[in-house]
Amino acid sequence: MPHLFVSPRGARFMGRHFPCALGRGGLTDDKREGYGATPLGTHGLVGLLYRPDRIAQSALPDWARPIGAFDRWSDDPRDVEYNHYLPDGPRPGFSSEALRRADPLYDIILLTDWNWPFAEKGAGSAIFVHCWRKPRHPTEGCVAFARPDLLGIVTRLRHADRLVSSR
């Protein structure tokens, strides 16, 4: 099975090597909200979101879903929707992360099953695979790639593929 393997040395997928960025806190087996680390282990890839004004749907698999103007992701451990997609915008009184950003980081987002769907409060949220800010620039815990590399990866993923992070 062609899992997406990531480590501090880069990523491997379907026999190819790709540079990638990991969390500013490195890799951890004790992920917590705000640590900025990428969780170790095997993680399901459970969804694919994209900016329809920046990426053609025809360039993506048929399971990709467009990011709406007000779509967010709950990152507030107090919220009953913690670590979940919020398609109807922010929830009053709780923090959340905008998925439609001015920068290109979230033009393509692979959703992982880290701490999802039954989120443990404070165990980390929004562990995505997305476009990087610049080569190997650390993330807040996500895995990030150059946009062309990420596009190439997502078009070749299969339903059973996983993200495997290791030291």
pLDDT score of 122: 94
Judge contact between 24 and 36, C-beta under 8 A: yes
Instruction: With respect to residue 36, please indicate whether it lies within any of the assigned structural domains.
Output: yes
Residue 78 belongs to a domain: no
Domain of residue 37: give its range.
4-65+107-165
* Sign of the four-CA dihedral 62, 148, 55, 115: positive
At residue 128, the pLDDT reads 98
Does residue 15 lie within any of the structural domains?
yes
Which residue ranges of the chain lie beneath pLDDT 70?
Answer: 1
The count of domains in the chain is 1
Query: What's the Cα-to-Cα distance from 106 to each of 49, 93, 98, 133, 160, rounded to whole Å?
Result: 8, 24, 9, 10, 23
Q: Which residues pair with 47 in a beta bridge?
A: 111
pLDDT at site 159: 79
Query: Quick check: is 85 in a domain?
Result: no
Domain for residue 87, yes or no? no
- Asked, for residue 139, whether it belongs to a domain, the answer is yes
In a domain, 61, yes or no: yes
73 within some domain: no
User: Domain of 45: which CATH number?
Assistant: 2.40.440
